[in-house]
Every structure is written in structure tokens, then in C-alpha cells.
Chains A and B, each alone.
Chain A
Amino acid sequence: MPDKSTFSVIPLIVILLPWISLLAILAFPKKAERLRLWLCALGSLASFGLLFSLLPGILDGKTYTIKLASVVESLEMRLTVDTLGFYFALILAFLWMLATIYSISYIDHKHNRFFAFMAMCESFILGCAFSANMFTYFIFYEMMTFGSYPLIIHEETTIARRAGYKYLVYAVAAGTVLFFAIVAHYFWGNGELGFGSYGVLSLEFASRAALTTIFFTYLAGFGVKAAIMPLHGWVPDAHPAAPSPASALLSGVILKAGAFGIIRVCFNVFGTDLLRELGVYVVMAVLACITIVVASVFALTQDNLKRRLAYSSIGQVSYIILGLAMLAHDGALGGVMHLTHHALMKGCLFLCAGVILVKTGKKNISEMAGVGYQLPITMICFSVCALAMMGTPPSVGFITKWLLGSGALQASLPVYIIILLVSALLNAAYFLPIIYIAFFRWEGDEVEGHGETHRPKLVFGKEADHKLVVPIVILALLVVVVGIWSNVTGFPYSLVSRVVNVIFP
């Protein structure tokens, strides 16, 4: 729908709004700590609000575009808000806003650095979502990659430093591969890096080998962020090391930036026809299946809660890849919708893990006996999301699984359904014990035999600061609400179906 593209500065303003936080940190004196922190949240909030105001236009089929800079005519930095970009931006701005509010209470040292880099990363990743071409995407993507490093090592412990180091190693390598992919794409794509509705590359200009190379370098470059299996190494270290709001964002958004890149590559750069022609989707599907199963098995063996969640994220992000690789309507729909679904669920889970850590100091699942009584609201939300992860209706997780299953049938490859079922089973195997330990076991249980008398007192309402609990509750509610009314305007289905219906009529 290029005919309805209108010039608008709103995308640029949306990107720049988080920088208010940076200004706030610089402008206000150290004494006005609370004011400064709230201004940070305000920047994020304003960004989300302004973004939301674009919704009617997007539903009308419009795209908003603004050119920022250019190198030569065909190589420009341009922001364009199309439906897909808007969809990604919406969830990321929303999750970022909640995480920022959560951080006000959660982060207890070096506020300045943390909030400054939170704001910068939000700005960069919104830039990714709005990118009109791969060149722009890469620029924002790289800045986001390096901008998120201080978030990961925020605690400055040895573990965090080591995780940060690993993160950088992966990021630099991936960035280089991705860079090559984009230059090669530019070269063989006849200088066309833009996103077309049906893809822009074709066999007319480039050989089969060249296109395959481009595809696999893209897949490897984005695959590191999207944690496709041999490339996932940084994820399980970075998540537990980072402060919880940062891990929520890592899992909910930053991993998705990689996945979103792959979505762009599949839909808008190669196009589904070319993918089928080249046959490369098979590799993608196989990698995704392996990742889904193996990551879940790894998750089973982890005792550290955030590490288990991190492995779970690795598996879940590959749902998106699998959905794309099905090359079928429902598969693509489910995959792309899972972007939001997983962000909601995993965001909530990581924030819950943060509350547990702050209030009880417990990191390991085996120590969490009775936590459900100390932190009932948190653990109820946790349970809701954990159940959703397994695919229990009515929840977003169920929708994903349903659509992916349906996509597998459309692609006439029921083997995917088996993978999905195995994954659901494994999800249950690693999430249910957490819920069980939190609610049905309590300390001293093992020693006494029947610990009825030792059951901790249920404390409702006073478990933690509101800034910690409210984001969690909102996310848990959304996991259910979006799962039931996915078709409501602005919710995933309403946006994604527009994109997917164009590609798979």
C-alpha cells in the first residue's frame, strides 16, 4: 500500500520521546531523585501514547514515513510506520513502559546509568520497528545491541561481567555477519534494501547461490538475537545476570528484535514465494524445531528460576521462526502473533521473578517453598502466565499453539504438531513444579512429613511496592484478555491478520 504513504514527523517524535528521560537525568538535581525517575517513566509513557494515536491511521491502511538521512539515493535512513512495524512497536513500547515503572522501585543503585540506557535502548529499538529498509534496521539494531550492554552488567558482579562479555562476543560476531548480509543484499538486490509487501529480491538479478548466502547470513545474524539453537549461548547467562526488568525486556523485546528481523527478511525481503523456490525454509524449520525441543529439555534441568525462564524464552522465540517456516497462512499468523504473546507472558514471568528475588532473596526454584503464601498476587500472576505458556485456554499461549497447529495442517506437515505437543508437555514439566513448590510445599515440609501446621500465613495486598505489583498484574490480565478477545482493535489479531492476509490471500 505505498500509495497511502504520508509524510509525518510522528515516528521521529515517538523515537525521540524516551530521550526526555536522558534530559531529565541531566537537568534535575540529584536531590530530586523521585521526580527524575518518574520523568523517565513519563518519557516512555508519552512515547507509547503517541504511538497509540497512530492506530486509526494504520487501520485505515496508511503508512507514515520520514526520511532521516541518506548516503546515496538508494541508501537512505528512513522511518516508516507500516502495520507490521506498528504492531511490534506497540508491544515493545507497552512492555518498556511497564518495565520502566517497575524499575523505579526495583533498581537500587546507579539509577542514572540504568535509566539513561533504558531510554536509549527503547529509542533505538523503536527505530528498528519503524525502519523502512534493512540499512536503517541494521543501524538501529547495532546501536540497540551495544546500548543494552550496560543493562546486562548493571549489577557489576563477576557473573554479570562474564555474561556481558559473552553477550558482546556474540553481538560483535553477529553484527559482522549481519553487516555482510546487508551489503550482499544491497549488491545483489540491485541497490534495493527496502521492504516490499511481497519481497524485493528475485532470481532475475541474482543467482540461487547468492540468494541462499544472503538468506543464511541474515538468519545467522538475526539468529543470535533470536536465540536459534547453536547461536543461543549468551541468552541463559545474560538473563539471570541482568536486573529483572532488564531481563524482562531482553526476553520480551530484544530477543524479538532478532525475530522481527527474521520476519522482515522472510516477508518483506525474500517473500514467501522465493523462500519456497529456494527451499531454505526447511533449514529454518528444522533449526526451529530443534531449538524448541532442546531448549525445553535444558530448561528442565535448571534450578535457577531466571535461567529456566531464559531457556524457556529460547524455545518460545523459535515458535515465531517455526510459524514463519511453515509458509502457511495460519502458521505465519500464529508466529507473528506470538511475538506479542510471548512478550506479555515472559515479561510478566521475569517481573515476577524479580519480585521474588527482591522480597525473599531467593533465586533458585528449590528454595521457593511457600513463596505463594508470602507473595500471593505475584505467584498467582506467575501461575497464570506459566499456564498460558503451556497453552492452556483461555490465554494467549493457547491461541499461538492453535494457530501454529492449524498452520502445520495447512502446510500438510503434521509433524510440527507433534513438536508443539512435545514442547507443551515439556513446558508443563518445567513450569508446573514451580507452581507446585510455591503453593503446595512449605519450608520444613520434608522434615516433618505432614506440614499442615507449618503452613505460612497468607498475606494479601502488602507483598510489595505497587510499582512492582501493578505491572505484573496488568500483564497477567492481558495474557488472559488478549487471549479471549484477540480480535479487538489494536490487539494482535486485528493487526497481524492484515499483514498476513496480504501475503497469503
Chain B
Amino acid sequence: MGAWRHFPIFMITLPLLGAVLMPFLGYLRERWVPYAALLPLAASTLLGFLLVGRIPAGDHLSYHLGGWEPPFGIEIRVDHVGLFLMLVVCAITLLALVYSRRYIEKEVSPGRRTAYYVLYLLMSGAMLGFTATGDIFNLFVFMEILALSSYALVAITGNRNAVRAAFKYVLMGAPSSIMVLLAVGFLYSVTGTLNMADLASRIAESGYTEVLVVSYILFVIGFGVKAALFPLHMWLPDAHSIAPSPISALLSGLLVEVCAFALVRITFSVFTRSATDLVGGTADAVGVAAAAAVLYGGIMAITQKDLKVMIAYSTVSHIGYIFLGITAFTAEGLTGAMYHMLDHGLAKACLFLCAGNFIYLKGYRRIEELRGAWRQMPWTCFAFALASISVIGIPPTAGFISKWYLILGNIRAGKWLYTIVLLSGSILAAVYCLRIIYYMFFQAGKEEAWEDASRDVPPGMLVPVWALSLGTLFFGVFSYLLIPSLLKASAYLL
């Protein structure tokens, strides 16, 4: 039993611990907080990378909290896919935190800055725990931490619109949490266990089909709201566009993904294959919703005038991609969905941070105002272009690889309509992304719009943006690092 077996729990608890300690540091030395907050996340990231290659393929690492054996104790369960997603979470939260320092100085009033970092670390830790836990009650607990911290972060600037958006988010988020809690309760009542692996074996035996169906539907709706699956997405465009940009990046790039992933685990690790006929009808409904999301999100994104709202609607569309990959129920589709979580996370975080750069430097939010932006902010614009290319799915970016597998998975499943929906979704993405690129690079803006300041944003904000956009390129070219193991892991899940 090597020390590395303890890594997952440290990955989760370090940010949470950091969140607890941050207020004290903020009281003593407020200026240090932005730097100190980096430490726990950097440590988690490092531990995550050290875990790579240690978990055997097709197997999982099971950690028993406090030494209590699973059905009764809390289990942390990390398999290949989970670790992969945890690394994505670590990397993106770390980068967005680096970005935050400058941005928050400008957007958030001094008294709230420490709170921002506390909530940020809470949210990061909760996302990691959410991804790794092997216990459905824990899943609910982490989801609540995640949700509460994200409500607060959306409202952190304290202005009217932000509070309204956060309120809207709470209005939808709170019932969804209760639904998940209810579902957990139902499952417990019929099986008498909360551990996922244990549940999987007992669900098949228990005869309470109606209860199972209801609890599965509750899970789907509960996580569906959090993952902003159409038509439960109403909170998303407001919350994602009004939150401070690094928070938008996390919400759009990670939160919706991990919630989708939670649903994947509930579907494949809890309800499993034996109960597929039970979830089958629900899965079909999810598929229809996802297909609608792809088209609706894309069309709404095209009609937007505000850059961040446009990116938010694009997220609605891309959540549809992920769910279409999942509902294909094929290894390729699931791989595509997983890979899309990665590349959409990177690309969307990058887009939001770029939008943040424009707000930070010029206060520009509207798409029209970006005309000729290239001249003053070349670095931001190039990063934006690269990330948008990934969003569209043009090779050689990672978006292309995930689109490939999503479509391959749907073809294998014989779902022709969804294949066409996915293809149309990428055409819509091309429309809304290329429009921005066109404005930035090929249109001359008003002279005075870009004249006064001659520099791009400071390096502290450029480096995260570029790291993310180069990440999309990297995982496009070096996809062999992940795809084979993802394919194997997906086949194992199914």
C-alpha cells in the first residue's frame, strides 16, 4: 500500500482545507490571499499528475475514508475516467485562479476579495470530491457545496444584475438539489445502502421497479438542471454571462461537465447494464432533450449581441453534444463525450477568459465592439480564435477529435437523426464563432475604439488564456495519449 493511494483524498481535502484557512490569512495579510490560494490547487494538480499511470487499466482505486470498509464507510473511487476528469478540473481551476488576481482587483470590491478566494477553493474542492466519490450521499453533499459556492460566486460583485442572475440560479438549483436528495433517499429505502458499487449489485435484485424508475428520473432532472440540459438550462445564460469571467470559465468549462459526469456514473455505475431497460425510456428522453439543446443553444448563440451570453448559449449547445455522446450507449460515444468534457472545458474556459480580457481592458461586452480588436489585443484574439476553432471542431484541435468520436458513436448506435443533429450543431458553432473571428481580424473598427491603450492585458492574464488554448491544440494533436485508454475505460463502464 503505497502513499499514492492517499492522493485522491488529499486532492479533495487540500482545497477545502485551504478554503477554511483563507479567511484567517485574509484577516492578517489580505494581499497574500491570491497567491496563497494557489498553493492547495497546485498541490492537488501535482498529486493528480503523480497518480497518472498508477491505476491499472480497467480497474479503479478505492480509498476507504477513516479505514471503514465500503458498504458502511465512505468510499473514494477513482478510475481512469475519473482521474482524467479530476486532472481537467485541477488544471482549469488552477489556471483560472492565476487569471483571477488581476481581474478580481478590478471587478470585486476589496471587502469581498477574500470571500471570493474562499468560495473559489470550496468550489474547486467540491468539484474534485464530486467527481471522485463512490457514495451517493457524498455525491449529494459535494453537489450542495458546489452549488452553494457557485450561487455566491455568481453574485459576488453584488450589483443588481448579478444578484438577480444568482437568484434565478438558486431558484432552479435548490429544487434540483432536493430532487437529488429525494432520489438518494428512495434508493436507500429500497436497497439499504448508499455505496455505488453496493447499490449496483442490489438494484438488480430489488423488485421495486417503480421506485427505481422514479429515483432515476429524479437524478436525471436534478443533475440535468445543474448540467443545464435543455430545457432546464434557463439559469445558465444569465449566470454564466454575469458572473466574473474566471467564474464563468469554471461554471461553463467545468461545473456543467462534472454534473454530466455524475449522471454518467449514476447511469453506468449505479443503475448499470442490468437495469438498462429500466433507464432506457429516460435515456431516450434525455437524447431528445440533448438534440434539442444542440440546436437551440446554437441558434440562440447566433442571435446574441453580448459576447458572454453568446458563449453561454454555446455551452448549452455543447452540453447537448456531451449528452448525445452518452445516450448513444457505445464506447465511442462515451469516449467522445468524455473527450468533449476535456476540450470543451479548455476551450470554453479560454473563451470566457478572453471575453474577460476585453472587459478588463476596454469594458467591451458587445460583439460589435470587438471590430478590429486584433490590432490592440493580438494575443487575446489569437487565443480566442484557436479556442473557437476547437469549439467548431476544426482539425487539428481537440474539438475535432471529440466530434469524430461523438459522431462515430452515434453512427454505431444507428442513431442517424442525432448524427445529423451533431453535424448541424457544428455548422451552427461555425456560424457564431467565425462571426467573432471575422469581427476581430477582418473588420476595421472605429479608430478611437482601440487607440488609447496600445497594449494587451498583463501576462498574468495572458498566460492562462494561452495555456488553455494551446491545450486544445495539444490534445488535438496528441490525442493518442488519452483516447485509447478512454476507449478502454468506456468499454469497461458499459
Show the binding face of A for B, using Cβ within 8 Å.
69-73, 138-139, 142-143, 146, 150, 153, 156, 161, 164, 168, 172-173, 175-177, 179-180, 183-184, 186-187
Contacts and interface: CB of A to CB of B under 8 A. Distances in A.
Contacts of B407: 179-180, 183
Interface string B366-401: 000000000000000000000001000011100011
Nearest to A68: B477
Nearest to A164: B442
Given A71-B483, A72-B480, A176-B423, A183 B408 contact: yes
B431 to A, nearest CB: 8
B430 interface: yes
Contacts of B477: 69
B408 A143 contact: no
Contact of B419 (A70, A138, A161, A180): A180
Nearest to B335: A72
A153 B395 CA distance: 22
B279 interface: no
Query: Which residue, A71, A139, A153, A176, has most C-beta atoms of chain B within 10 A?
Result: A71
Query: Top 4 closest A-B pairs, CB basis?
Result: A139-B395, A172-B430, A71-B479, A70-B480
Nearest to B444: A156
10 contacts: A139-B400, A146-B389, A150-B442, A161-B442, A168-B430, A172-B430, A172-B434, A176-B427, A179-B407, A187-B411
A127 B389 CA distance: 19
A175 B393 CA distance: 10
B77 interface: no
A156 B371 CA distance: 14
Given A179-B423, A183-B407, 18 more contacts: A71-B480, A71-B483, A72-B480, A72-B483, A139-B400, A142-B395, A143-B396, A146-B389, A153-B442, A156-B442, A168-B434, A172-B427, A172-B434, A176-B424, A180-B423, A184-B411, A187-B408, A187-B412
Contacts of B483: 71-72
Interface of B: 389, 394-396, 400-401, 403-404, 407-408, 411-412, 419, 423-424, 426-427, 430-431, 434, 442, 477-480, 483-484, 487
Nearest to A186: B408
A183 B430 contact: no
A267 B416 CA distance: 28
B421 to A, nearest CB: 12
Contacts of B442: 150, 153, 156, 161, 164
A72 B404 CA distance: 12
Given A71-B401, A72-B484, A168-B434, A142 B394 contact: yes
Contact of B487 (A72, A164, A187): A72
B292 to A, nearest CB: 19
- Provide the main secondary structure of the chain B interface: helix
A173 B412 CA distance: 23
- Provide the main secondary structure of the chain A interface: helix
Query: Which residue, A146, A156, A177, has most C-beta atoms of chain B within 10 A?
Result: A146
Contacts of A180: 407, 419, 423
A164 B427 CA distance: 17
Nearest to B396: A139
Given A70-B480, A71-B480, A173 B411 contact: no
B480 A146 contact: no
B216 to A, nearest CB: 31
Contacts of A172: 427, 430-431, 434
A109 to B, nearest CB: 13
Contacts of A71: 401, 404, 479-480, 483
Given A172-B430, A172-B434, A179-B423, A69 B403 contact: no
Contacts of B404: 71, 179, 183
A145 to B, nearest CB: 9
B346 to A, nearest CB: 17
Contacts of B487: 72
B291 to A, nearest CB: 16
Nearest to A161: B442
A370 B434 CA distance: 45
Contacts of A142: 394-395
Contacts of A184: 411
Given A156-B442, A161-B442, A187-B411, A179 B480 contact: no
Contacts of A143: 394-396
A156 to B, nearest CB: 7
Contact of B480 (A69, A153, A176): A69
A368 B434 CA distance: 39
B387 to A, nearest CB: 15
A183 B418 CA distance: 14
A483 B117 CA distance: 74
B478 A69 contact: yes
Query: Which residue, A142, A180, A183, has most C-beta atoms of chain B within 10 A?
Result: A183
A176 B424 CA distance: 8
A176 B426 contact: yes
B234 to A, nearest CB: 29
A206 to B, nearest CB: 12
A308 B419 CA distance: 40
A75 to B, nearest CB: 8
B439 to A, nearest CB: 12
Nearest to A171: B430
Contacts of B427: 172-173, 176
A43 B487 CA distance: 41
Query: Which residue, A153, A176, A184, has most C-beta atoms of chain B within 10 A?
Result: A176
A184 B403 CA distance: 13
Contacts of A168: 430, 434
A138 to B, nearest CB: 7
A277 B479 CA distance: 37
Contacts of B408: 183, 186-187
B382 to A, nearest CB: 12
Nearest to A138: B395
Contacts of A69: 477-480
Nearest to B392: A172
Contacts of A70: 480
Contacts of B479: 69, 71
Contacts of A150: 442
Nearest to B404: A183
Nearest to A140: B395
B195 to A, nearest CB: 34
Nearest to B389: A146
Nearest to A165: B438
B419 to A, nearest CB: 7
A435 to B, nearest CB: 38
Contacts of A161: 442
A161 B441 CA distance: 12
A187 B414 CA distance: 11
A176 B404 CA distance: 11
Nearest to A76: B480
Contacts of A175: 394
Nearest to B393: A179
Contacts of B423: 176-177, 179-180
A25 to B, nearest CB: 14
A381 B480 CA distance: 52
A183 B483 CA distance: 16
A138 B403 CA distance: 14
Query: Which residue, A138, A142, A153, has most C-beta atoms of chain B within 10 A?
Result: A142
Nearest to B412: A187
A176 B430 CA distance: 10
A161 B483 CA distance: 40
A175 B394 CA distance: 9
Given A176-B423, A176-B427, A183 B395 contact: no
A177 B423 CA distance: 8
B487 to A, nearest CB: 7
A323 B412 CA distance: 35
A71 B475 CA distance: 10
Contacts of B419: 180
Nearest to A156: B442
A164 B442 CA distance: 11
B298 to A, nearest CB: 13
